[in-house]
Structure formats: structure tokens, C-alpha cells
Amino acid sequence: MNTSVIGYPRIGKDRELKFESEKFFRGEIGEGELLLTAKNIRKSDWESQQKAGITYISSNDFSFYDNVLDTAFIFNIIPQRYKDLNLSDLGTYFAMARGYQGDHGNVKALAMKKWFNTNYHYLVPEIDDDTEIKLTGTKPVDEFLEAKALGIDTKVAVTGPFTFLKLARFTGAKKIADVSDSLTSEYVKLVSVLASKGAGYIEFDEPYLVRDLSSDDIALFNEIYSKILSNKNGAKIFLQTYFGDIRDIYTQVTALDFDGIGLDFIEGRKTSELIAENGFPEGRILFAGLVNGKNIWRNNYKKTLETLKGINASDIVLSTSCSLLHVPYSLESETGLAEDYKKHFAFAEEKLTELNEIASLFDKDYNSDPDFIKNQALFEGRVNSEDKEVKHAVASIKDEDYVRLPVFGEREKIQKEALKLPLFPTTTIGSFPQTSDVRKNRQDYKKGNITSEEYVAFNKKKIAECIKLQEQIGLDVIVHGEFERNDMVEYFGENLNGFVFTEKAWVQSYGTRNVKPPIIWGDISRKAPITVEWSKYAKSCTDKPVKGMLTGPVTILNWSFPREDISIKESILQIALAIRDEVLDLEANGINIIQIDEAALREKLPLRKSDWYSEYLDFAIPAFRLVHSKVKPETQIHTHMCYSEFTDIIPAIDAMDADVITFEASRSDLQILDSLKENNFKTEVGPGVYDIHSPRVPSVEEIVAALTKMRAKIEDSKLWVNPDCGLKTRGNEETVKSLTNLVAAAKQIRG
Ligand code: GLN
Ligand code: ZN
């Protein structure tokens, strides 16, 4: 049996791409050096796959920032404001990704959104009425030839036109129907150029097919691919889907002339059923996505082989369920992790071995095969550290534990009275710049180079300085700055029982930002108070209200690698009880504003609407309420969500029953505000007034303009003024300037 990989991690085993890109942004290295780093990463990635014996290896899965942006770029879908900067190609590309402020001008970045149900983000292409779609980029061809020169014949993976169009934003009068023809023609050109350079296989990634599709969507897909598939120019064209099943379009897809179709058997609950009921066309390859590209647990060979044997198709290639971009490189780097844990995990490199082993087991009588026996032992032997007390606590949760009293309207009055904040209160989302001294302090402490007293003293100094700075700037609700935290999830994980940590298991989140998700290994409980001492100290430094800062249960789960032996719901409730203890301890220590971040709430929202409540929101939202339901009426609960993509679940967000919610709005032109108004959103809101994902400093006028738009939709008494996310990735200088402008803007509109 042959094997296939949809995509491979591309940040470099030691995160070289991040570090070199950042050097490039700071002007410390030139384009040539960055290009060379990228080339070396691609080489090493291809060679790992070649060495593992993978049959179908992808090229063009590499990206300097994001593959959707790459696609926009090669088809000249570059808004004029970026072209006007007159930068080099790479400079223009990065300006679209990160915004640009410098000698050539001043523009914001493209909007950024979560990639389906993952923690990876894509840049939203913008198509306006003047966009001239034409194939101008050569990246897919270049990377194919680069691999070929290394003796590796790759399939070229491209973001498919259907998904691309569905994800794009149309800023003028034109809509999808007005541009789909010309975009399709340019894809046809791409196929012909690739074929002429000797590319035998081209993979079109169309994850959008796993969503709910309308009849218009299906017609559009048919139209696009009828054209592409009648112009193959000798290349074989594969369709690749992932993150679910394609129930709405399966019969149409299998009727088209694709040479291979990739289906996800992990998240695609109906994939097996679809094939069994409708058959799979003769003479085509079925890429069976059975090695999980998102989670890090070992594949259960027995289950996988049984599924494979049950598929009625003549030519099956074993594949990953999605790109391996979503898992870390290799367990080899985890020198500190005990073998007892490690043997249960598979990162990208180990998944290559799994693909290979399963494929060769498939062709034999596997029951007595040593690889098979060794794998089965893992599943018979695994006993998670079970905690009876935790199990009991979860079982004892009562309905009233999910309800906070008195109701919001009454609490709002009580809190206004107690906190005496000005109109349009100003605040931040929690973290302040994580400068090198802050990181060094944490690392020194971890390595044992400094004592715990030294570590704490440094952080206290930082907190005191940060508070003074916020007072000088004139912010109303003060934060301590989160200097003790590496990452908002890892930090809590480290202070809870049940988590396992890695050293180098980085996964790309967006651009140069990588995250290192902890692994949920066992039942979760709180060892001891986590943030209380820091918040108490912060409070002692100022007379202004200090906001305590926690990460919520849904986000902790969504940004970890979850268990597969108990339900997501069960895990979330365990975490909720642990964080509830922390909320109550903060309150008992005089912290009367507490923010519980749910940055990743939307992440695991099922891709199909029919599953939203029953499969997710029905337990995720109550879990959040469980965390804060027991606080006093005068304690103000804030929450924060990255991105404002909750237009369609506003009632669920309101049902979190927080007192204040802050979220990103600056990149998405405040579309969210109308929906809040329409839905009579009760919670007070702080739609971010500027974009912290870019180093650009917003002017006072710009912030006043944003606030003026907001005031048209939101009652003055409910509007907060804040950036759109934490400031930890920013530098000090731009942070001070931006926040100073923010406070000036708030004062201006108060006046
Ligand atoms: N409180 C966190 C911070 O400011 C929130 C981060 C986030 O939303 N991603 O860093
Ligand atoms: Zn955020």
C-alpha cells in the first residue's frame, strides 16, 4: 500500500523560520539569508519524508507566512495599497501579512482568521473591483523544481480555487460569480505550467467542502472543476479534503474526473458510510486520511487496519487526515520526557513511521507481526492517572452550579456603584511586552540558575513598573502584565495536575508565532493557588482597580492536545472546577475584577451548523458559567475572545453571562457591532480599537474614528476602550505610544 502526506511542518525543527524572519523584519539580515533558511527547511522536510519511504510527498506546502496568502500572491490578488508601497516581492508579501509602517508608507495588514477548526490562522484575501486576477507568481513551480533537483518527485499542493473564493473577502461590488471564471482560467494556466515542468501530480486542497454547502456552492464547485479537469495537460489531479466529511457533495465530487480523492476518516464521521452507500469510482485513488494530523496520540493500528479493510475501493493510499502542520516535528527533541509517556505519542516524524508500518501491515497477515503486537500493547497498557476525587466532583455538579445570581442587569448596577469607573473605561487585555529580560528571568529560574526569591523579586519589580506605567498612561483598569507566563495555556497547565509538557513541540499558530500545546494526560485538578500572589502584589502597588487574569476551561482544553479516552466535555468540566477554585481565591483576596480569557472558544465549534449546540456549545458555555457562578454580585467578570467571529453565535456568547467581554474588531471593520445590536447583547463590550498583531502605532484620530463608529451601535454605558488582544508580542516603545493614544482618544470622546 502506498502512503501520502498532505503537508509537513515548515517552521524548522528549531523554529529557524521564526527567528530568521524576525531578524529579517528587524533589518538584521537580508532577503538572501532568509530565502536560504527557507530552502534548508524545505530540503530537510522533504528528506525526512523521503527517508521514511512516503510515496506522495507534497511540495508548495511550505510558506513564509500562510498558504492562502501565498495563493493570493501568485494570482496577483494584491490590494493596491500594498502595491503602492513599492517594496520587493517579499516585502509586499510581508506587508500584506503584517502591515507596514515605514519610509514607503503606512498600511494595515489583511484580516486574519482561524483556519477551520484549528489554531492555525490564514490571511483573508481581499478582492476588489479592480483586482486583476492573473498568474504572476512562480512559487509552486519553483518549489516543485527545487525538490526535483534533490531527486524528490513531489505532488504539488495548492489551495483550491473553491476554498480560496469562499474564504476571500469581496470589498467592492463584485462577488464570487464575477471572478470565479477568471480565477479558474488562471488555475488552468498554473496546471499547464506545472505539467510542462514535469509535475505529474497536482493536489487541490479543498477543506471548505466539509462545511455545510448550498446548492450554489455545489454548482460553483462543479463549474470550477469541470474546467480544470478538462485541461489536465497530462498531469494527474487530486482533490484533497480534511477536517470532516464531504456529505453534501460526495456524489458530485466522485462523478468528476479527479484522478484521486482524499477523504478524512478521523474527523469525517460519515466518511466510511458515504463510501459504503455510494461507492467509490473505479480507477481512482482513494487517499484515506487515517493517521491523525491534529492530535499526538499513537495510531491504533488495529482500528485503522480494520477500517482500511472495510473500505470498498480498489486503489487505496494511506494518508494523514490533514496537513501535519498542526503537530510538532519530532519526539526525538523531547529528551526530558519519560519513555512511559513518549511511547504513547506520535509527532510528525513518528507519524511518517506509522504511515509506513500500517501500509506494510495491510499487505500481510498482521496479527502476529511484531510491529502490530507492539502497537496493540500500547492500548492495552495505558492507564491514565485517574483521580477519584476529580471524577466525583464532576459527577456532583448540580444545575444551579451553572447559574450566577443576581441576574446581569442587577449586577451591572451594583458594579457601577462599587467600581466608580469613568464612562468608556480604558483597559488592556492582560499581557505587557515580554521583553528579553522577562523571558530570561523565567528561563534562568527554570534552569535553576537563580533562586525562587530572585525570580519572584524580578517579577515584582516588573509588575511595579508596569503598574506605574499604566498609571502614567492613565488607564482605568490596571493589569499586572503576566510576566510570569510563557503562554496563557501552558502556564495554567504547569500549575494543574494532569498535564504533560514538551520542550520543543512547537506548532505554528500564525506567521512567526508558534505555540507549544501541553498534553492532557490524566484527570485535572488544581495543586495550589496559581495567580493569587501576583495579583495581590499588583493590587498593593496601586489604588486603581486591578484585574485578575485567568485562562478559561474551554481555551485550556482547545489549546492543549486533548485526551482521546474520555470526552472533551468531561475534560472541560474538570478544568472548569479547577479554575473556579482560583476565581474564588482571587475574590477572597480582594481582586474584584477578574478576567477569564476564552480566546479559543470558537476553535472547536463544529464546522457544520447542525452540530454547533449539541456537539459543543451545550457544554462549553455552561462550563464557563460554572467557573464564575459563585462570585459576589459586585465582582466584575470579564472575558476576552480573540477574533470577533461570533456574529452567528451571539446568544451563546451572551449566555456565558460575563459582565464585560473584549474582543478583536479592528481587523474586521467592526461588522460585529450590528449583530450585537440586533441581538440585544446585554454584556458590556470592549471591541478592540487597534490591532496588536502588527507593530503599527494607531493615531488618536484613528481610534476616535473607531470609537465613534462603535458608539453608533453600542450604548455609551456599555462601551469599553481597549486594544484587541494581549500586548506580549509587542515592543515597549510601540506599546506606550499606542496606549497613550488610546487613553487620549477615550478622553476626547468623554469630553
Ligand atoms: N490575557 C492574555 C494576554 O493578554 C490573553 C491572550 C489572548 O487572548 N491570546 O496575553
Ligand atoms: Zn486575544
pLDDT tens-digit readout, 403-427: 999 999 999 999 999 999 999 999 9
Asked whether 166 and 208 are in contact (CB, 8 A), the reply is yes
Dist CA 132 CA 128 (whole Å): 9
Cα-based distances in Å from 726 to 255, 459, 650, 730: 48, 18, 23, 9
Is residue 640 lining ligand 1, measured as CB closer than 6 Å? yes
Q: 681-710 pLDDT, tens per residue?
A: 999 999 999 999 888 999 999 999 999 999
Q: 559-618 pLDDT, tens per residue?
A: 999 999 899 999 999 999 999 999 999 999 999 999 999 998 988 999 999 999 999 999
pLDDT over 80 (residue 644): no
Nearest ligand to residue 595 Cα: 1
Give the sign of the dihedral formed by CA 198, CA 194, CA 67, CA 237.
negative
Is residue 431 lining ligand 1, measured as CB closer than 6 Å? yes
pLDDT band at 668; cut points 50, 70, 90: low
Ligand 1, residue 642: give the atom nearest the CA: 8
Tell me which of 484, 515, 597, 662 to substitute to probe ligand 1's pocket, judged by most ligand atoms within 8 Å of the beta carbon: 597
CA of 509 to the centre of ligand 1 (A): 14
pLDDT band at 384; cut points 50, 70, 90: low
Backbone φ and ψ of 733, nearest 5°: -60, -50
Dist CA 43 CA 48 (whole Å): 9
Please tell me the predicted confidence (pLDDT) of residue 666.
Answer: 64
pLDDT over 80 (residue 28): yes
More confident residue, 57 or 600: 57
CA of 431 to the centre of ligand 1 (A): 6
CA of 113 to the centre of ligand 2 (A): 12
Nearest CA to 745 out of 727, 721, 723 is that of 721
Is residue 547 lining ligand 1, measured as CB closer than 6 Å? no
Is residue 642 lining ligand 1, measured as CB closer than 6 Å? yes
Dist CA 148 CA 248 (whole Å): 37
Dist CA 350 CA 361 (whole Å): 16
pLDDT band at 382; cut points 50, 70, 90: low
Q: Take residue 642 and report the three cell numbers written for it.
A: 480573540
CA of 285 to the centre of ligand 2 (A): 42
Q: 716-745 pLDDT, tens per residue?
A: 999 999 999 999 999 999 999 999 999 999
CA of 546 to the centre of ligand 1 (A): 16
Please tell me the predicted confidence (pLDDT) of residue 664.
Answer: 87
Q: Whose CA is nearest to atom 8 of ligand 1?
A: 599
Q: Take residue 290 and report the three cell numbers written for it.
A: 487515517
Q: Take residue 546 and report the three cell numbers written for it.
A: 486591578
Dist CA 108 CA 341 (whole Å): 44
Tell me which of 640, 660, 728 to substitute to probe ligand 1's pocket, judged by most ligand atoms within 8 Å of the beta carbon: 640
Half-sphere exposure in the Cβ direction for 648 (13 Å, CA): 11
Ligand 1, residue 641: give the atom nearest the CA: 8
Please tell me the predicted confidence (pLDDT) of residue 359.
Answer: 98
- DSSP character at residue 75: T
Secondary structure (3-state) at 241: coil
CA of 217 to the centre of ligand 2 (A): 32
Ligand 1, residue 551: give the atom nearest the CA: 1
Ligand 1, residue 485: give the atom nearest the CA: 10
CA of 556 to the centre of ligand 1 (A): 12
Ligand 1, residue 429: give the atom nearest the CA: 4
Half-sphere exposure in the Cβ direction for 618 (13 Å, CA): 7
CA of 431 to the centre of ligand 2 (A): 10
- Give the CA angle between residues 144, 290, 113 to the nearest 5°: 65
Dist CA 94 CA 87 (whole Å): 10
* Pairing of β 660-663 and β 684-687: parallel
**Mean pLDDT within 538-555:** 98
Domains along the chain with CATH numbers: 2-79+106-380 (3.20.20.210), 425-483+525-750 (3.20.20.210)
Cα-based distances in Å from 421 to 318, 476, 493, 642: 60, 7, 34, 25
Q: Whose CA is nearest to atom 4 of ligand 1?
A: 726
Is residue 726 lining ligand 1, measured as CB closer than 6 Å? yes
pLDDT over 80 (residue 381): no
Dist CA 266 CA 517 (whole Å): 20
Is residue 430 lining ligand 1, measured as CB closer than 6 Å? yes
Q: Whose CA is nearest to atom 5 of ligand 1?
A: 726
Cβ of 381: how many Cβ atoms within 10 Å? Answer: 10
**Mean pLDDT within 471-482:** 98
Percent of the chain exceeding pLDDT 90 equals 95
Residue found under cell 455609551: 716
Residue found under cell 499588583: 538
Is residue 696 lining ligand 1, measured as CB closer than 6 Å? no
3-state secondary structure 506-558: CEEEECCEEECCCEEEEEEEECCCCCHHHHHHHHHCCCCCEEEEEECHHHHHH
Asked whether 245 and 271 are in contact (CB, 8 A), the reply is yes
Cα-based distances in Å from 40 to 14, 33, 139, 143: 12, 11, 16, 12
**Mean pLDDT within 155-174:** 98
Average pLDDT along the chain: 96
CA of 199 to the centre of ligand 2 (A): 42
Asked whether 259 and 282 are in contact (CB, 8 A), the reply is no
Is residue 597 lining ligand 1, measured as CB closer than 6 Å? yes
Cβ of 177: how many Cβ atoms within 10 Å? Answer: 12
Please tell me the predicted confidence (pLDDT) of residue 486.
Answer: 87
Q: 61-115 pLDDT, tens per residue?
A: 999 999 999 999 999 999 999 999 999 999 999 999 999 999 999 999 999 988 9
Tell me which of 725, 727, 728, 735 to substitute to probe ligand 1's pocket, judged by most ligand atoms within 8 Å of the beta carbon: 725
Please tell me the predicted confidence (pLDDT) of residue 480.
Answer: 98
| Close Cβ partners of 353 (under 8 Å, ≥ 6 residues apart) | 52, 346
pLDDT over 90 (residue 386): no
pTM above 0.75, yes or no: yes
Dist CA 419 CA 429 (whole Å): 18
Tell me which of 114, 429, 722 to substitute to probe ligand 1's pocket, judged by most ligand atoms within 8 Å of the beta carbon: 429
Is residue 429 lining ligand 1, measured as CB closer than 6 Å? yes
Q: Whose CA is nearest to atom 6 of ligand 1?
A: 726
Q: Beta partners for 661?
A: 639, 685
CA of 479 to the centre of ligand 1 (A): 12
Ligand 1, residue 725: give the atom nearest the CA: 8
Residue found under cell 501520502: 4
Active-site pick, 326, 628, 640, 693: 693
Q: Whose CA is nearest to atom 3 of ligand 1?
A: 726
Nearest ligand to residue 555 Cα: 1
Please tell me the predicted confidence (pLDDT) of residue 667.
Answer: 60
- The H-assigned helical ranges of 79-175 are 80-83, 89-98, 139-149, 161-167
Ligand 1, residue 549: give the atom nearest the CA: 1
**Mean pLDDT within 320-348:** 96
Asked whether 567 and 586 are in contact (CB, 8 A), the reply is no
Q: Is 628 a catalytic residue?
A: no
Please tell me the predicted confidence (pLDDT) of residue 694.
Answer: 86
Q: Whose CA is nearest to atom 9 of ligand 1?
A: 599
Dist CA 592 CA 594 (whole Å): 6
Let me know how long the chain is: 751
Q: Whose CA is nearest to atom 1 of ligand 1?
A: 430
Nearest CA to 314 out of 351, 371, 275, 342 is that of 275
302, amino acid identity: K
Is residue 728 lining ligand 1, measured as CB closer than 6 Å? yes
- The H-assigned helical ranges of 122-245 are 139-149, 161-167, 176-196, 215-229
Q: Take residue 358 and report the three cell numbers written for it.
A: 500500517
